[in-house]
Amino acid sequence: MFGPGIAEVAIVLVPIAITLVILSRLRSTGTSVSDTCPLCGKSESMDKARMLYEILICKRCFFSLANRRQLAFVIDFSLLCLLFLSFVTLVGGARTTDEANTWFCAFLLVFFLKDGFGGYSPGKALLRLRVINEITGKSIGFRRSFQRNLPLIIPFMPLVVAIQLHKGHRTGDKWAASKVIWKRYASHPIFLAKSNPEYKTTPAEVEMQAKDALSRAFKLEARGLFEDALTAYRTIAGSFPQTLAATDARKCIDDLEKRMKG
């Protein structure tokens, strides 16, 4: 049969990535907050709230979405491997290791394009997830799907992505201007596109949104999550530049950076 190839290496990386994700969940998240979750509206799991797309949500919703994304990836990758192995063993599409690797590269290209079917891959469709253009809100096509998934070809990048996806964006999303949304809460501001009409608010509403975001950033800093707090402050300064909250956020950035260096 064939010697070790791309398929075998990739199959080994998936369980390692899942193991690292499980281990990362064991870290304590600090002191509690009393707000209700902006997604489910419950407060029971907000004692260990986590950041998703720069917004604090409850632990239950956070891990529910993360589990869906992980399972969707496993489904997609398993289907790819099944399709590849069926082709090689049943159809006889490859007789040497080089041929097998060549065919696997072809199937890997299909994997890179998997999110281009209206924003769905087989796994995402089953788990009710969708990939959208975060600027327009429309489903991504094959070009952006290729851009989004191409970094996975870098050695050990699947391990990095497995950890990154918990916060929403992962390597490849910025390049493709994409984000994964949970269809159950597709109309929630967390998952809306930047061009959504709901973002065209009055100055008073913008100021209120900025204050709410600043309050969440304060809580992150109080819990000792300084990196997350810095990210939140910078988001406020960039998203609401003309507000009083943005002025306060810029001061907080300077103070927190000095504390972290000091």
pLDDT tens profile 186-198: 878 788 887 665 5
238 lies in the same domain as 152: no
Q: Is residue 246 part of a domain?
A: yes
35 against 51, higher pLDDT = 51
136 lies in the same domain as 230: no
| Domain termination site, one of 128, 160, 186 | 186
Range of the domain at 211: 201-261
| Domain termination site, one of 186, 212, 237 | 186
79 lies in the same domain as 25: yes
Q: How large is the average pLDDT for residues 70-87?
A: 86
Residue with tokens 């994700």: 21
176 lies in the same domain as 239: no
Q: How large is the average pLDDT for residues 45-67?
A: 84
Structure tokens at 41: 């509206």
116 lies in the same domain as 175: yes
CATH number of the domain residue 237 falls in: 1.20.58
Residues 6+ apart with CB under 8 A from 166: 21, 24, 50, 52, 62, 66
Question: What is the pLDDT, as a whole number, of residue 182?
Answer: 93
pLDDT above 90 for 114 = yes
CB 71 within 8 A of CB 123: yes
Phi first, then psi: give them for residue 167, nearest 5 degrees. Answer: -95, 5
12 lies in the same domain as 130: yes
Binning pLDDT at 50, 70 and 90, where does residue 259 land? confident
Q: Is residue 192 part of a domain?
A: no
Maximum distance among all Cα pairs of the chain, rounded to whole angstroms: 69
| Domain termination site, one of 186, 215, 232 | 186
Q: Which of 16, 13, 14, 49 is nearest to 34 (CA)?
A: 49
Question: What is the pLDDT, as a whole number, of residue 17?
Answer: 55
Q: Is residue 63 part of a domain?
A: yes
Q: How large is the average pLDDT for residues 16-33?
A: 47
92 lies in the same domain as 209: no
The mean-pLDDT minimum among 14-18, 52-56, 111-115, 156-160 falls in 14-18
Q: Is residue 30 part of a domain?
A: yes
pLDDT above 70 for 12 = no
181 lies in the same domain as 205: no
pLDDT above 50 for 199 = no
Structure tokens at 261: 């260096």
Q: Which of 220, 225, 214 is nearest to 260 (CA)?
A: 225
Q: Is residue 194 part of a domain?
A: no
* % of the chain exceeding 70 in pLDDT: 78
pTM above 0.75, yes or no: no
30 lies in the same domain as 160: yes
The mean-pLDDT minimum among 2-16, 82-96, 152-166 falls in 2-16
Q: Is residue 222 part of a domain?
A: yes
Question: What is the pLDDT, as a whole number, of residue 85?
Answer: 79
Q: Is residue 158 part of a domain?
A: yes
Number of domains in the chain: 2
163 lies in the same domain as 43: yes
Binning pLDDT at 50, 70 and 90, where does residue 143 land? very high
- CA 72, CA 58: separation in Å to the nearest integer? 21
142 lies in the same domain as 221: no
